[in-house]
């Protein structure tokens, strides 16, 4: 953590002033020509506990720690007169990020789960594995049978992730697991499907992240620069991850009709790309709420929280054999709500995510916004969709039906920077 200390004084003839100059490590000959009195700029020195570095390598990573310590990532409270860190009890924080110390951009600084849940899981690791109240988490987890298998493994295979609670790993294919290893951003890029470039420490961090919350892994292996609807992953430090900032969709439930129509159309487009894409992965949600999706400052809608996304490989299918899904150990439950009932990969239908969105999000976004004839058509569709589309075609046809209703309702102006002025010249927008 850099500390700026200025030793500026107009003269050093006073013995007390000379002692102060020497104590601050300044050259008296230089200070003699300085034009002002000593000044200390306040700065905050990060605590390892706040970041979670004291718990590594049971953490996400350390790729962005230097930016925290160089004050190139700042919490919003740093901009106030009293520099301080926000409460550690919060799950996420708004921050500012810079590469040149001149231009700053907003970022989200997030925990995998609440600090309370982290602490509870840490205690459970110690009491379950070592029969003590406190312990070295790394030493305890290294002794487990699962991690010993990871240490011997040359390749990440389905049996190594069996029983983990992440929806992403409920139906894992070898192709998906190879992608995780090849694109794991907390280590130098080796471009290899083999884990030779991962140290023991790296393997523990990867396993821990997958066990607690796969959100940062999804951001790494399906990056926004390739067109995936996720915010950019900027790095991690301890148990905090940093990503591009978005406002949660809940902030737009009261938006103007044309904004609501635009966001609903984007939501449909995201669901469509998650079901049908060039890589032949089928993404589905196990849960959605008002914080699942977010909106960038340019009006573009993305998936803000990927922790509830499951993935089915349409090329390879699940590589887990019967019974492996139910394998349980300490890594199987490091968060709350991880004891959910097992869902068969074969039971997930095309309209699964659309029905959830029709039940929980679209009514809050679209209800009571439009003139009666249009509103009645929207309400009728949402009721039918929320029941499961049992008597209708697939999700694609249903989304096309709603899109046809909504497209005439949105406008083309500078409020929608992500598609303006392109919308004036292309039907695509």
pLDDT by 10s per residue, the chain, length 429 = 443 333 333 333 443 343 333 333 444 443 333 333 333 344 555 678 889 999 999 999 999 999 988 889 988 765 554 567 778 888 999 999 999 888 999 999 999 999 899 999 999 999 999 999 899 999 999 999 999 999 999 999 999 999 998 999 999 999 999 999 999 999 988 789 999 999 999 999 999 999 999 999 999 999 999 999 999 999 999 999 999 999 999 999 999 999 999 999 999 999 999 999 999 999 999 999 999 999 999 999 999 999 999 999 999 988 876 555 567 899 998 876 665 556 678 888 889 999 999 999 999 999 999 999 999 999 999 999 998 876 556 788 899 999 999 999 999 999 999 999 998 887 666
Residues 267 and 385 in one domain: yes
Let me know if residue 217 belongs to a domain: yes
Q: Tell me whether residue 325 is exposed, middle or buried, using C-beta atoms within 10 angstroms of its C-beta: 0 to 12, 13 to 18, 19 or more.
A: buried
Q: Which of 177, 203, 232 is the C-terminal boundary of a domain?
A: 232
Number of domains in the chain: 3
pLDDT of residue 191: 84
129, 60: one domain:
no
- Residue 223 CA to residue 147 CA, distance in Å, equals 28
- pLDDT, residue 256, reads 96
Q: What are phi and psi for residue 293, nearest 5 degrees?
A: -110, 155
Listing DSSP states for 141-202 in one string gives HHTSHHHHHHHH-SB--HHHHTT---GGGSS--HHHHHHHHHH-TTS-----SBGGG--HHH
In a domain, 29, yes or no: no
The rounded distance, in Å, linking the Cα atoms of 36 and 11 is 9
Instruction: Tally the C-alpha atoms within 13 A of residue 339's C-alpha that lie toward its C-beta.
Output: 2
Q: What pTM value is reported for the model?
A: 0.85
Q: Which pLDDT value is given to residue 201? A: 97
Same domain, yes or no, for 313 and 405? yes
301 & 256 share domain: yes
Whole-number pLDDT of residue 213: 94
Q: In whole angstroms, give the CA distance from residue 265 to residue 362.
A: 10
In a domain, 41, yes or no: no
Task: Tell whether 159 is covered by a domain.
Answer: yes
Q: Which domain holds residue 358?
A: 247-322+347-419
Shared domain check, 72 and 157: no
Chain centroid to Cα 356, Å, comes to 21
Claim to verify: residue 105 and residue 124 sit in the same structural domain:
no
Domain shared by 222 and 295, yes or no = no
Nearest to 363 by CA among 278, 290, 428: 290
* Domain termination residue (choose one: 206, 232, 258): 232
119 and 192 inside one domain = yes
Residue 388 lies in a domain: yes
Tell whether 152 and 257 lie within a shared domain.
Answer: no
Residues 369, 398 within the same domain: yes
**Is 121 within the bounds of a domain?**
yes
Question: Is 86 in the same domain as 121?
Answer: no
pLDDT of residue 89: 83
User: Quick one: 90 and 123 in the same domain?
Assistant: no
Quick check: is 188 in a domain?
yes
361 in a domain, yes or no? yes
- For residue 409, give the CATH number of its domain: 1.10.510
């Amino acid at each position: 953590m850099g500390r700026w200390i200025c030793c500026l004084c107009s003269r050093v003839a006073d013995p007390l002033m000379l002692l102060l100059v020497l104590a601050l490590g300044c050259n008296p000959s230089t200070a003699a020509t300085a034009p002002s009195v000593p000044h200390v700029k306040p700065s905050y020195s990060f605590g390892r506990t706040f970041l979670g570095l004291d718990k590594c390598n049971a953490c996400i990573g350390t790729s962005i720690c230097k930016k925290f310590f160089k004050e190139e990532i700042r919490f919003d409270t740093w901009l106030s007169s009293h520099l301080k860190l926000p409460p550690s009890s919060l799950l996420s924080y708004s921050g500012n990020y810079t590469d040149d110390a001149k231009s700053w951009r907003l970022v989200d600084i997030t925990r995998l789960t609440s600090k309370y849940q982290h602490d509870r899981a840490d205690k459970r690791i110690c009491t379950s594995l070592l029969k003590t109240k406190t312990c070295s988490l790394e030493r305890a987890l290294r002794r487990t049978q699962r991690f010993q298998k990871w240490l011997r493994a040359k390749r990440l295979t389905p049996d190594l992730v069996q029983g983990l609670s992440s929806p992403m790993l409920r139906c894992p294919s070898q192709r998906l697991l190879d992608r995780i290893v090849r694109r794991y951003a907390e280590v130098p890029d080796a471009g290899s499907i083999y884990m030779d470039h991962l140290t023991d420490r790296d393997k523990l961090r990867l396993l821990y992240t997958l066990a607690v919350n796969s959100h940062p892994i999804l951001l790494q292996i399906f990056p926004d620069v390739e067109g995936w609807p996720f915010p950019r992953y900027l790095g991690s430090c301890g148990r905090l991850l940093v990503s591009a900032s978005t406002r949660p969709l809940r902030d737009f439930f009261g938006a103007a009709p044309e904004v609501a129509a635009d966001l609903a159309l984007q939501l449909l487009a995201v669901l469509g790309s998650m079901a049908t894409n060039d890589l032949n992965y089928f993404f589905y949600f196990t849960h959605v709420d008002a914080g699942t999706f977010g909106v960038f400052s340019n009006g573009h809608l993305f998936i803000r929280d990927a922790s509830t996304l499951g993935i089915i490989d349409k090329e390879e299918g699940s590589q887990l054999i019967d019974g492996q899904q139910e394998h349980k150990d300490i890594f199987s439950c490091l968060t709350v709500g991880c004891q959910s009932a097992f869902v068969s990969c074969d039971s997930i239908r095309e309209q699964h995510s659309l029905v959830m969105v029709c039940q929980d999000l679209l009514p809050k976004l679209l209800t009571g916004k439009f003139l009666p004839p249009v509103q009645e058509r929207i309400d009728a569709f949402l009721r039918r969709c929320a029941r499961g589309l049992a008597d209708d075609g697939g999700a694609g046809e249903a989304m096309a039906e709603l899109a046809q209703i909504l497209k005439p309702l949105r406008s083309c102006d500078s409020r929608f920077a992500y598609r303006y002025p392109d919308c004036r010249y292309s039907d695509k927008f």
